[in-house]
Amino acid sequence: MILIIFLPILLCISVGEIKIKMNNLYGENKEITEEYDKSLSVECNNGIFVGKLKENVISFKGIPYAKPPIDELRWKNPVPAEDSNKVYQAFFYGKAPIQKEFPFSQGSYYPQGEDCLYLNIWVNKNDKSENKPIIVFIHGGSYKGFSTSEPLFEGQNLVEKFPDLIFITIEYRLGILGFIDFESVEGGDNYKTSNNLGLLDIICGLKWIQKNIKKFGGDPETITLMGESSGATLISLLPLIEESKGLFKRIIAESGSLNLSYSKSESKLLTEKLLEKSGAKNIEELIDLSGEEIKELQKELNDYCNFAIREENILPLDLYEVYKSGKGNDIDMLLGSNENEYNYWIKSFGSSFSSNKILSKLSGELLFRVGIPILFESYYYKNMNDEDKKLVDKFLNSLNVKNIWKYSEFLTEIIFRLPVTKQAEYHSEAGGKTYVYLWKYAAEQKKLGAFHTLEMPYTLDNVGKYEFGTLENPEFEDTVQEMWVNFARTGNPSISKLNWEPFDTDKRKIMVIDEKFELIEDYKTEQRKLLEPLLKYNFNSNRNEISYNVPFVYKNAFAAISILLILIFTFGKLIK
């Protein structure tokens, strides 16, 4: 009872602090009609943009790469920004995509709007070389959250450390504006690409980069896409889209692969809910909704949002098969996963309640202990045939850990590690240069291990800006970043003190990233072989199918009812 009373207070304090911090970062870039510092400006096709200098790095924030996707352009393909010779500030991030606010995502508290198609560039002023390698980072967030304004995604530190590097982040549409199927809606025939507008936004951003990046000193032939979670999936999907051909040379995909996508049938629920909640009967009535109404609908429908959709128009139905056929084999790939990916949700559940470390840990583990078995039984186990259920039972029984950690290990394997491995297999077999890593470095997170997202503060050189806490380790950070940047430069992550051999289906060599870096062969062979048949289900962490009509609830009725009451009280009354 005491926990229930104090959680709302702590949550409100935490949220208030984040809102103040993010609002202080916001501003609107305006046209400059007076004198300006030409040494901080770059002339692009759609304007002259003036950046800000911090230490040795110039940042250009909030550059529009497309027209605002509002009014008649809502749910339409991005339209490239119009040519202009006017001078504009590039001081502030553009608006965050419309999304639900979450305490563990600072970027979700940045001012939001439909007009969100902007990109941000960091360049080192002291490096005068031409044809610099470029990393374009695509953020994750389950296709419904986060934004480029997230402090963790800033390029300042990385470009300060590696002066020859240009770092770029691209914003794209999320949720009901970025990934929704209108096939069944009256008037939907004119919106056949609404399924994957977020992907088309990124392609539009990459075309802007191809057109303008030489003016910043960058090499349009040496562009590496880097993404995490759903961002890693998006950049893994781009090689399969003909329109993206020639826009980039390499990808670094962290903890995300082809399975983090939806089938057409899975995508229908969001459309039904949108029509139900909005009262709209056709596309015209949806277009007539105001921006504020769209914001409220996104908050209400957050839990039903789609991933990228396999629909034959933009994306093929069988993504693995297209990789197997050799599509995209001209792209160099660095792919990987973390040792304990699914333990992240203990952290994120807890952070949804409180910024207090003790209460966050208690509430997070309580929700995880109840929620994960329910998710496992109502979605994964329910959708398997009897033979595959036996494989899962054998896998779980082989693990020398308690039940909650068994489920986490299974989900880590089936949602993250196996799909990444299969993507690497097919790309390598088709002749593509492929490197694979396993991230085991856990810093101070000894109990939770190397969970989802934990690698980002190290690879992006933003250790102090990570929401869940990390330990500084300069030697480790330098080594990881040098490997990532060297891959962006050359297509090979090897460095002077570490030789990283490519992955192939014979030796299956992967780099284990821990306090000690080690190249090993065929990690967890038996686990992989045991669960590999489950890849055919395309399990993607779809929580829409969760049902409480499962054995775990019957056996633990009191605990389940208690946690449901906490959820209903806290989320229903407070966050709403």
Which pTM value belongs to this model?
Answer: 0.92
Alpha-carbon distance of 34 to 22, in angstroms, equals 29
Give the angle subtended at the CA of 271 by the CAs of 266 and 276, to the nearest 5°. Answer: 130
Q: Which of 41, 105, 149, 229 is catalytic?
A: 229
Q: Name every residue whose Cβ is closer than 8 Å to that of residue 478 and which is 6 or more positions away in sequence.
A: none
Tell me the pLDDT of the chain (576 aa) as tens digits.
Answer: 444 444 444 445 456 667 777 777 789 999 999 999 999 999 999 999 999 999 999 999 999 999 999 999 999 999 999 999 999 999 999 999 999 998 878 989 999 999 999 999 999 999 989 999 999 999 999 999 999 999 999 999 999 999 999 999 999 999 999 999 999 999 999 999 999 999 999 999 999 999 999 999 999 999 999 999 999 999 999 999 999 999 999 999 999 999 999 999 999 999 999 999 999 999 999 999 999 999 999 999 999 999 999 999 999 999 999 999 999 999 999 999 999 999 888 765 544 433 444 444 444 577 777 778 888 888 888 899 999 999 999 999 999 887 778 989 999 999 999 999 999 999 999 999 999 999 999 977 777 899 999 999 999 999 988 877 677 899 999 999 999 999 999 999 999 999 999 999 999 999 999 999 999 998 888 899 999 999 999 999 777 766 666 666 656 665 556 655 655 555 444 333
- Taken in order 217, 223, 224, 230, is the CA torsion positive or negative? positive
Residue (of 345, 351, 274) closest to 305 by Cα position = 274
Would you call 89 helix, strand, or coil by DSSP? strand
Would you call 518 helix, strand, or coil by DSSP? strand
Please indicate whether residue 547 is annotated as part of the active site: no
Q: Could you count the other beta carbons within 10 Å of the beta carbon of residue 148?
A: 26
Residue (of 531, 574, 568) closest to 548 by Cα position = 568
Alpha-carbon distance of 150 to 108, in angstroms, equals 8
Pairing of strands 332-338, 250-254: parallel
Alpha-carbon distance of 458 to 158, in angstroms, equals 10
Alpha-carbon distance of 316 to 366, in angstroms, equals 40
Would you call 45 helix, strand, or coil by DSSP? coil
Alpha-carbon distance of 498 to 491, in angstroms, equals 15
CA-to-CA separations, 546 to 74, 341, 392, 433, in angstroms, rounded: 31, 20, 19, 39
CA-to-CA separations, 537 to 158, 371, 387, 533, in angstroms, rounded: 39, 21, 13, 9
Beta-bridge partners for 441? none
